[in-house]
Amino acid sequence: MSDPTLPPSGRGYLAIPGPSVMPEAVLNAMHRPAPNIYAGELPEMMPGITADLKRVARTDGHVAIYISNGHGVWEAALANVIAPGDQVLVPATGHFAHGWAGMARGLGAEAQVIDFGKSAPMDPERVAEVLRNDTAGRIKAVLAVHVDTSSSVLNDIAALRQAIDSTGHPALLMADCIASLGCDVFEMDAWGVDVMVTGCQKGLMVPPGMGFVFFNDKAAQVRAAMPRVSTYWDWTPRANATDFWQYWNGTAPTHHLYGLRAALDLIHAEGMEAVWARHHLLARAIWAACDAWGAGGPLRLNIADPVHRSRAVTSLHLDPPQATQLRDWTESNLGLTLGIGLGMADSKDPDWHGHFRLGHMGHVNGHMIMGLLGGMEAGMKALKIPQGDGALSAAAGVIAGI
Ligand SMILES: *Cc1c(COP(=O)(O)O)cnc(C)c1O
C-alpha cells in the first residue's frame, strides 16, 4: 500500500521522536501466526526478556510490564506508590514533566512543580531546597524527566540523586526515561533511581504498545505500605509472575514480545556502551550541522550547551512559519518526516510554526543522519531560508571521526 503523501520511490525516514524507525529484524519477528499463550515458546521467553530489559536499564531491581504507552506507565508507577493526598515534587524542563504532574493530580496527589522553563536543565540544588523546607516529610516522590522530548533537554539524574541525599529526605526518585532509554547514558542502580518508567517505541525500537516500570526494593516497601492499589496496576504480581498471565494481568501482547525479543538481541549484540556512543556521535553530527547553518541564518538549537542536550532528540527553532514549511517540504518531496514542535508554543500562536524536532533514537546510523541533514539543507535551499555554509561537511567530519 502506498502513502500518497510520500514520493513513490525510495525509503521514507520517519525522523520524529517516537515512534522510532523499526528494524527489519523486529518487523520480521512479529510477522507470524497467533502463538499459544498457555505453553511453549512465548511463556518460556519471559525470563530472558526481563533479564535483558534490566540490562538496558542497568538495574538488578524489578520490572513490571504493561500493555500501554508512556502515559500508561506514568500512571502505573504513580498508582503503586502515591495515594490520594500524598505530595509529589516535579522539577519541570518541558511539556512532559507538566504532563506527569497533571497525572499525579488526577490521582489525587498534590503536585508541586518547579518550572525551569523550556530551554534549560533542572537545578538539583533548587529541588534540594524545597525538600529541606519539607520538615514534615510530606513529599513522597520527586518525579524527574530524564530527557524532556519537547525541549530535548538532558537532565543530570545522578546529580539530582546526590542533591536529594544531601537533604536526608526520604522521597523516592522516580525517573521518566521514555525518550532516553537505549539512547542517552542511564544507570538506574548506580545513580540511585528508585522507580524508572519507559515505553517500547523509542530507543527500544518496537511499535507502540508496551510500557515498563522498573523499581527497587525501597520503592517496593513504599508500595507495600499503600492503603490500596488496583489489581490491574499493581506491579507486585507482574514483577514476580510465576504464571504467564500474571505478567499482564490478562492476555499478553503476543507479537510485541517477539518484536521486543528481537530488539533486545540487537541492542545487546551491539552492547550498551556502543549503543550510547553511536547515539552520541550521530547527535554531535546533527549539532555540528545546526551550528554551521545557524551561523548564517535563523536556525537555532533549543538547548545551547551540548552537555545538556539529549542524544535521542533535538528541538530546533526557525523563524515562523519556516519550521512548518520545512517539515511540509521534506515530507512531500523527500519522504523525510520531521517532528512537530511540541509544548514549546501554543498551537494557535504563530511561533508554533517556528518549532520542530528531529528524532534520532534507536535504529539510526550515519547514512540516515547524513540523509536527514542533506534533506533539511535541500529544504532550506528550496524555501530560501538563509543558512551558513559547511553544515554537511561538518557533520560528515564528525561521523568520520576527524
Ligand atoms: C513519548 C514520551 C512520553 C509519552 O509517551 P506516550 O507513549 O506517547 O504516552 C512521556 N515522556 C517522555 C519523556 C516521552 O518522550
Confidence of residue 9 (pLDDT cuts 50, 70, 90): confident
- The β-bridge relationship of strands 147-148 and 153-154 is antiparallel
Count of CB atoms situated within 10 Å of the CB of 171: 23
pTM beyond 0.75: the answer is yes
Whole-angstrom distance, CA of residue 160 vs CA of residue 244: 37
pLDDT at 1: 47
Tell me, in angstroms, the distance from the centre of ligand 1 to residue 61's CA: 23
Query: Where does the pLDDT of residue 144 fall: very low under 50, low under 70, confident under 90, or very high at 90 and above?
Result: very high
What is the number of the ligand 1 atom nearest to the C-alpha of 96? 11
- Residue to substitute in 67, 75, 96 for testing ligand 1 pocket (most ligand atoms within 8 angstroms of CB): 96
pLDDT (tens digit per residue) in 173-182? 999 999 999 9
Residue 59, pLDDT score? 98
pLDDT, tens digit, 9 for 90 and up, residues 268-283: 999 999 999 999 999 9
> CA-CA distance, 79 to 62, in Å (whole number)?
16
Of 148, 100, 106, 85, give the one whose Cα is nearest residue 314: 148
pLDDT at residue 3 in the model: 57
Q: What is the pLDDT of residues 13-52, one digit of tens each?
A: 999 999 999 999 999 999 999 999 999 999 999 999 999 9
Q: Characterize the bridge pairing of strands 139-145 and 87-92.
A: parallel
Percent of the chain residues topping a pLDDT of 70? 98
Answer whether 139's CB lies under 8 Å from 88's CB.
yes
Tell me the domains of the chain and their CATH numbers: 34-253 (3.40.640.10), 271-400 (3.90.1150.10)
Taking the centre of ligand 1 as the mean of its atom positions, its distance from the CA of residue 96, in whole angstroms, is 7
Over range 81-86, report the average pLDDT: 98
CA distance 24 to 28: 6
pLDDT at 5 over 80: no
Query: Which residue CA neighbors atom 4 of ligand 1 most closely?
Result: 70
pLDDT score for 4: 55
| Selection from 314, 373, 369 nearest residue 344 by Cα | 314
Instruction: Compute the average pLDDT of residues 366-386.
Output: 98
- Structure letter (DSSP) for residue 347: T
* Per-residue pLDDT tens digits for 281-303: 999 999 999 999 999 999 999 99
The secondary structure of 273-311 as a DSSP string is HHHHHHHHHHHHHHHHHHHHHHTTSS-EES--SGGGB-S
The residues that bridge with 66 in the sheet, in sequence order, are 211
Residue 7 has pLDDT above 80, yes or no: no
What type of residue sits at position 323?
A
